[in-house]
């Protein structure tokens, strides 16, 4: 049986055959391989439990106007960074534009089990070096976030950066344990991703700095509506993670950072937004510093809040 801590690999396998063979080979080698028999559900599956790698037949049709499913997934503004291996025949190599397809590797069929395992290991190792993805949510981590922001600054096109963190997350984690705390973080990731994805814009980005800190990048004209949707959805869902008696009370008893016993209200979220159209910046550190200042103001307000940096 696969180790529960092993990297999760999604194998898109709408029909029996080579993809089922891939699943068996990986599972026999101790890899946590999962077949996906309905490609239309791939985005939902990825969002619920982001995989470390995806293996997909190159010939499967796409769902967003792209010629293939691989292209559709790599064009996704949120999870397009996830490592992907496409399977194809030697004949299928002809005419593929590898630059625009942007997959991470390919596997020719038929193949030897050793070749499959080697490709997967190489893909995972490369992703670990280059992506720095958060292992809990699958969202890009610090290094990738900085690269994305720097690329947008260099392009000269204005954009908004939203920083979100949770209020009273540590006391919650201390009382209920890290497993339930991780559930809250995964829920928060889904809330942010769904709100950003709802814009149906391809010039968006979501990252997970670590802990309860998230970042999202998007055009100025949709920033306010996205932030409002994030706060609305988070406030609607968060009480479900508390025990009934705490939910009714609207608070928990836990320990603060100084080691004192205190009462903490149900978690809320604070969002700070920096708009480079209002305040042109030249370096990512400038965005981070301004956001930190605005976030202090946001966290000082009661309940979930959104603060925009309006300083010129």
What is the model's pLDDT at position 49?
Answer: 80
Q: For 144-172, what is each residue's pLDDT tens digit?
A: 899 899 999 999 999 999 999 999 999 99
Q: Residue 203's closest CA among 175, 223, 178, 233?
A: 223
What is the model's pLDDT at position 93?
Answer: 81
What is the model's pLDDT at position 131?
Answer: 60
Q: Residue 291's closest CA among 154, 162, 137?
A: 162
What is the model's pLDDT at position 4?
Answer: 44
What is the model's pLDDT at position 176?
Answer: 95
Looking at residues 17-24, what average pLDDT do you find? 81
What is the model's pLDDT at position 147?
Answer: 87
What is the model's pLDDT at position 245?
Answer: 95
271 close to 164: Cβ distance less than 8 angstroms? yes
Q: For 85-130, what is each residue's pLDDT tens digit?
A: 999 888 878 878 888 788 889 999 889 999 999 999 988 887 766 6
Q: For 205, phi and psi rounded to 5 degrees?
A: -160, 140
**Is 0.85 topped by the overall pTM?**
no
* C-alpha separations of 53 from 31, 124, 171, 189, 225 in Å: 11, 7, 34, 19, 32
Beta bridge partner(s), residue 265: 251
State how far Cα 83 lies from the chain centre: 13
Tell me the angle at which helices 113-130 and 18-28 cross, rounded to the nearest 10 degrees: 70
Percentage with pLDDT > 90 across the chain: 52
Confidence of residue 18 (pLDDT cuts 50, 70, 90): low
Q: For 39-74, what is each residue's pLDDT tens digit?
A: 888 888 888 888 989 999 988 888 877 888 888 888
3-state SS, the chain, equals CCCCCCCEEEEECCCCCHHHHHHHHHHHCCCEEEEECCHHHHHHHHHHCCCCEEEEECCCCCCCCCCCHHHHHHCCCCCCCCCEEEEECCHHHCCCCHHHHCCCEEEECCCCHHHHHHHHHHHHHHHHHHCCECCCCCCECHHHHHHHHHHHHHHCCCCEEEEEEEECHHHHHHHHCHHHHHHHHHHHHHHHHHHHHCCCCCCCEEEEEECCEEEEEECHHHHHHHHHHHHHHHHHHHHHHCCHHHHHHCEEEEECCCCCEEEEECCEEEEEEEECCCCCCCCHHHHHHHHHHHHHHHHCCCCCEEEEECCC
CA pair distance 121, 127, nearest whole angstrom = 10
42 close to 36: Cβ distance less than 8 angstroms? yes
* C-alpha separations of 79 from 2, 20, 263, 308 in Å: 25, 24, 38, 26
Q: For 245-298, what is each residue's pLDDT tens digit?
A: 999 999 999 877 777 888 999 999 999 999 999 888 888 999 999 999 998 888
Four-residue CA torsion sign, 111, 112, 117, 119: negative
* Domain spans, the chain: 8-130, 142-309
228 vs 39, more confident: 228
Please, what is the Cα angle at 141 between 135 and 147, to 5 degrees? 150
Which CATH homologous superfamily contains domain 142-309?
A: Reverse transcriptase/Diguanylate cyclase domain (3.30.70.270)
Confidence of residue 3 (pLDDT cuts 50, 70, 90): very low
What is the model's pLDDT at position 231?
Answer: 98
One CATH from 1.10.10.10, 2.40.30.10, 3.40.50.2300, 3.90.440.10 for 8-130:
3.40.50.2300
């Amino acid at each position: 049986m696969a180790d529960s801590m092993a990297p999760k690999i999604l194998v898109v396998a709408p029909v029996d055959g080579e993809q089922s063979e891939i699943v068996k080979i990986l599972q026999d080698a101790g890899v946590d391989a999962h077949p996906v028999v309905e490609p239309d559900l791939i985005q939902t599956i990825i969002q619920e439990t982001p995989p470390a790698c995806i293996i997909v037949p190159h010939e499967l049709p796409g769902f967003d106007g792209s010629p293939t499913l691989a292209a559709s997934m790599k064009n996704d503004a949120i999870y397009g960074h996830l490592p992907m291996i496409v399977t194809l025949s030697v004949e299928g190599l002809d005419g593929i534009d590898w630059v625009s397809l942007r997959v991470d590797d390919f596997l020719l069929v038929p193949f030897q089990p050793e070749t499959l395992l080697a490709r997967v290991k190489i893909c995972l190792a490369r992703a670990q070096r280059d992506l720095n993805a958060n292992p809990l949510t699958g969202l890009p981590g610090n290094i990738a976030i900085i690269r994305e922001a720097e690329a947008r600054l260099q392009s000269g096109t204005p954009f908004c950066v939203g920083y979100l963190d949770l209020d009273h997350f540590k006391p919650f984690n201390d009382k209920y344990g890290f497993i339930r705390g991780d559930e809250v973080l995964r829920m928060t990731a889904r809330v942010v991703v769904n709100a950003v994805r709802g814009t149906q814009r391809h010039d968006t980005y979501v990252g997970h700095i670590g802990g309860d800190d998230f970042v999202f990048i998007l055009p100025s004209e949709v920033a306010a509506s996205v932030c409002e949707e994030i706060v609305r959805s988070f406030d609607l869902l968060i009480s479900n993670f508390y025990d009934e008696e705490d939910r009714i009370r609207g608070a928990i008893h836990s320990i603060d950072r100084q080691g004192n016993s205190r009462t903490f209200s149900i978690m809320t979220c604070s969002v700070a937004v920096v708009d480079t159209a209002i305040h042109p910046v030249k370096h990512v550190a400038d965005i981070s510093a301004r956001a930190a200042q605005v976030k202090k103001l946001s966290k000082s307000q009661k309940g979930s809040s959104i603060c925009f940096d309006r300083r010129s």
